[in-house]
Every structure is written in C-alpha cells, then in structure tokens.
Amino acid sequence: MEQTALLAFLAGIIGANSIPHFVKGITKENYPTVFGDSPVTNLIAGWAGLILTVLCVHWADVGRAPMWAFGAGAFGVLLMGLFHAWHGALGSIFRDSNRVL
C-alpha cells in the first residue's frame, strides 16, 4: 500500500507539473525549465513528464489500493497546483519582471 501511495503521489506531482510545460510548448510560448525556456524545450519536458506519469501509475499497481492511490495522486496534483499558482518556478523574480505598470 505504501508503494502504491508513493508512486501515485509522484505521478500526481509529475503529471501536474508536466501540463503547463507541454501546453506552453505546443502554443509556442516561452516558459522556464531547468533546461531553458524555449517552446521546444518545454514541449519535450512536458512530454517526458507525461510519460513518467504514466509509468508511475503503471508501477503503482493502482488496483491493489485504489482509494489510497486516488487520494495520494490527488494530493500530489493539489500540491503542484498550489506551487504553480502561489510561488511558481521562479518565484517573485519571474512575477515582478512581467508586472504591468
């Protein structure tokens, strides 16, 4: 059960983090990653994250403890969503540079 919950939690975090990168990549917008901020870099980072998410869900064996897997995955998505909504990848440095006066 612990392995299922941990892998589902990681899948939630990785999947939620992959979505903005993938979307920014396919819409040809710059967005910061550890490898750069170009659209192609974001597309590849988002795609790789989605692949890792699917692998984590597969390895989690969700059928063994479905409620724990759902709860842990949902909690991972929530935490990553709060991170992006509140602090973001670059924190106040990125927000302040994009502020409209």
- Residue 91: its pLDDT value, please? 61
- Residue 82: its pLDDT value, please? 92
DSSP state, 99?
Answer: -
| Rounded Cα distance, 98 and 38, in Å | 17
| Rounded Cα distance, 33 and 45, in Å | 8
- Residue 94: its pLDDT value, please? 53
Please enumerate in sequence order all residues whose Cβ is within 8 A of that of 53, keeping only pairs 6 or more positions apart, or say none: 11, 14, 15, 18
Residue 90 has pLDDT above 70, yes or no: no
Quickly list H helices, the chain: 2-26, 39-60, 66-82, 92-97
pLDDT in tens, 4-26: 999 999 999 999 999 999 999 99
Rounded to an integer, the average pLDDT of 39-62 is 95
